Amino acid sequence: MRNEKKIRKKGIFTVGSTMVIASMLPNAVVLAGTTGSINVNIDTTAERAAISPYIYGGNWEFNNANLSAKRLGGNRFTGYNWENNFSSAGSDWKQSSDTYLLSNGNIPEARWSEPGVVATDFHDKNLSAGESYSIVSLQAAGYVVADGNGTVAESEAAPSARWKEVKFKKNAPFSLTPDTTDNYVYMDEYVNFLVNKYGNASTATGIKGYSLDNEPALWPGTHPRIHPQQPTCAEIVDKNINLAKAVKSVDPYAETYGLVAYGFAEYNNFQSAKDWDSVKGSYNWFLDYYLDSMKKASDAEGKRLIDDLDLHWYPEASGGGKRICFNDDTNCTNIDCNKARLQAPRTLWDPTYTEDSWIGQWCKDKLPLIPKVQNSIQKYNPGTKLSFTEYSYGGDNHITGGIAEADVLGVFGKYGVYFGSVWGGGTYTASGFNIYRNYDGKGSKYGDTKVKAETSDVENSSVYASVDKNDDSKLHIIMINKNYDNPETINVNLSSTKNYKSGKVWTFDQTSANITEKAPIESISGNVFSYTLPALSVAHIVLDTNSSTIMYGDYNKDAKVNALDYGLFKKYLLNSDGKYEVVLDLNLDGKVNAIDFAIMKQYLLGIIDKLPSTPSK
C-alpha cells in the first residue's frame, strides 16, 4: 500500500495532490467517507458439503457462458413428435405445427427425417462442448403433432388426424426406425432409441435425465389443441408415475425430473385444480401431495420413480411497477425495478426478507422457498433432489442481471440445489456464470465444496465460499456489492486450519461485463484482510497459502524496474490490444493507462521512491 504522507510531501504531479493521491490508491482502498463497511466471516471447517456441478446449466448456449449442463425443454416440447421431429407452438404462435425445432436448431435439412434428431443433435453438441449432462423432455399431455402443416384449427383439436396419441409403454418390441404410419408415439421406445445411440445414463455419453413434460398446469393455455381441460392433481400424479416407470424400465440409471411446475401457483394448489380440495387433507401445499404420492408409488414399485423435483422460477418480485424478470431492456432504466432485482434472490433463502409480490403478501408462510421445499421433501419423500430447470431474474444485459445471476448460483451451491438451467442469456448473465466457471479466461473454476460464509449486511452484500474437496490450500470467495451507489469495504475474518497469505482477484462491474483481473491481495495477516468493492460489482477472490509478490513495473521480468521496462511500457500503450497487464497497473485501479505510465516516469526520475510491492530503493 502506498504511503500517502510521503506522496504528499514529495508533491507528486502538479495537477493537484488530492486527485493524484486518489488515482494512485489501490482498487481495494477508497478515500474516507465514501464507503460502507461490512463484516464477513468464513469458516472452512464448517458446513462443508459438495456443490452439484449441474447448477451451472442453461437451456441453450449464450454469450460464451461456460455451462456445465443443458436441458432440452419448454413449451415447444409438449407436442414434439420424436418420430417425425414436428412440434407445436401452441398459443405461443398461432397453434402452429411445424419444423421450428429443426430450423431454429440449425439442423441441416438433409437430416430432418432422422428419428429424434432434435434430441440427438442437441446432445451431440453438448458432448462436443464438454457438457456431459443433458436433460431431454418427454411428452405426457396425451398427444403430439402428426404433421408440420401449420396452424391447427380449434375443430382439429386432439383427437384428430392432426395428432398422434402418446403411449408411455409400447408393450411390444422396440424399433430404431419407428412406424410413422400408425396412430401412436411411444415414450419408452424414444428412450430406448437414445440409449441405443448413446448408452444408458451410467455411461460417459448417455442421456442423464428426462423431464416428464413441461408446466402441466398451463396446458389449457399453452396447448389448448392438445389438452384443453385443466388437468387434475390426480391426473398429473398418475401420468408422472407411469411415465417414470416407462423410463426406468428402459434406463434404470436415468434421472427423472418430475412435476416441472411453472411457478408458485402450481406449487401451491396446482393452479386451483378442481380436485385440490378433495385431495388436500393435511398437506400444506400441492408439493406435499405430489411428493407423498411419488413416495408411495416408489415404495409399491420397489424403486425410486422421481429423482428430482423440478420447479421453474420466474420471480414475481417487482419494483417501480415492473416485474423484475420482464423488465429486460438493455438499459434497464427503471432503477426501482433494478434494485428489486438485486434483492430478489433473498426470497430463495432469507426468512427476514419479504419481496413486493402477491407471494410475499399472501403466501409468506411458504417462504423462503428453498428451505420450505426441502422441508417438504424431507417429510414426504426424503432423498428427492431439488432442481430449477427454468429460471430468470431478467436484466440479462445489465449489471443488476449479472449480479442476480451470480447471487443465485451462489445460493444454489450453498443450499444444495442439484440442477439449474437458466432460461435466457446475455452479456451480464454470462458473466454471472463465468465468474464461477471461467473467471480467469483459462477455464479455472470455483471450488467443488462449499464452506460456511456469512455477511453482516445481506441487503448490500452477498458472500459465498468454497474449496476443492481434497485441498484447502486455495479458498475461493465470491463477494458481491449490491449497493447501487457506493463502494463497500468488506472486512474478512477467516477461520481455517490453513494460513492464507495472498490472493488474486477477478471482477466485473457496471462499467463492463468483461471479467478482469485486479490488483492482488498481497498481505494477509492472521487470516484477516479487507477489500473494497465498487458499487454494483462481483468479485472472485482466490486466496492462497503461498505468498505471491508482484514486482510492479517489471514488464520484462528481469527483477529490475528500469528504462527497458519504461520503453516496453510505451510500446504497450501504443500497441495494446486491450489485454490487462497487472504488473503495469501501478495505481492498482484495474486499468493500465497514461496515469500508470506517468507513475513509472516519476519513479525512474526519483520523484517517488516506491512502486507497489517493489523493494525500496
What span, in angstroms and rounded, lies between the C-alpha atoms of 110 and 123? 18
Alpha helices in 113-172 (DSSP H): 117-128
In this structure, the answer to whether residues 520 and 579 fall within a common structural domain is no
Domain termination site, one of 404, 437, 470 = 437
Domain count, the chain: 3
Q: Which amino acid is at 154?
A: E
Domain termination site, one of 487, 516, 544 = 544
> Who contacts 191 (Cβ-Cβ below 8 Å, separation ≥6)?
138, 210, 246, 247, 250, 251, 254
Predicted confidence (pLDDT) per residue in 368-422, tens digit: 999 999 999 999 999 999 999 999 999 999 999 999 999 999 999 999 999 999 9
**Hey, what's the cell of 586?**
501501478
In this structure, the strands spanning 163-167 and 184-186 are: parallel
Contact 386, 377 (CB under 8 A): yes
Q: From the candidates 215, 266, 355, 522, give the one annotated as an active-site residue.
A: 215
CATH code for position 412: 3.20.20.80
In this structure, the answer to whether residues 100 and 219 fall within a common structural domain is yes
CATH code for position 469: 2.60.40.1180
In this structure, the answer to whether residues 288 and 429 fall within a common structural domain is yes
Domain that holds residue 459: 32-49+447-544
In this structure, the answer to whether residues 89 and 109 fall within a common structural domain is yes
Would residue 442 count as lying in a domain? no
In this structure, the answer to whether residues 380 and 518 fall within a common structural domain is no
In this structure, the answer to whether residues 39 and 79 fall within a common structural domain is no
Domain termination site, one of 412, 437, 462 = 437
In this structure, the answer to whether residues 535 and 567 fall within a common structural domain is no
Exposed, middle or buried by CB within 10 Å (0-12, 13-18, 19+), for 535? middle
In this structure, the answer to whether residues 431 and 454 fall within a common structural domain is no
Would residue 478 count as lying in a domain? yes
pLDDT of residue 616: 45
SS3 58: strand
Predicted confidence (pLDDT) per residue in 564-588, tens digit: 989 888 888 888 666 778 888 888 7
**What pTM was computed for the model?**
0.89
In this structure, the answer to whether residues 372 and 487 fall within a common structural domain is no
pLDDT of residue 9: 30
In this structure, the answer to whether residues 432 and 517 fall within a common structural domain is no
Burial letters 190-215, b for 16+ CB under 10 A, else e: bbbbbbebbebbeeeebbbbbbbbbb
Q: What residues are paired with 544 via a beta bridge?
A: 474, 502
pLDDT of residue 574: 86
Tell me if residue 255 is catalytic.
no
Would residue 486 count as lying in a domain? yes
- Starting at the edge strand that comes first in sequence, how are the strands of the sheet with 143-145 ordered? 143-145, 163-167, 184-186
CATH code for position 566: 1.10.1330.10
Q: Which amino acid is at 247?
A: V
Would residue 517 count as lying in a domain? yes
pLDDT < 70 positions in the chain: 1-35, 327-330, 548-549, 576-578, 613-617
pLDDT of residue 507: 97
In this structure, the answer to whether residues 75 and 199 fall within a common structural domain is yes
**Hey, what's the cell of 45?**
471447517
Alpha helices in 463-604 (DSSP H): 563-575, 594-604
pLDDT of residue 35: 67
Q: Which amino acid is at 456?
A: S
Q: Which letter does DSSP use for residue 152 in this model?
A: P
In this structure, the answer to whether residues 530 and 593 fall within a common structural domain is no
Would residue 467 count as lying in a domain? yes
Would residue 604 count as lying in a domain? yes
Q: Count of CB atoms within 10 A of residue 154's CB?
A: 9
In this structure, the strands spanning 209-212 and 87-88 are: unpaired
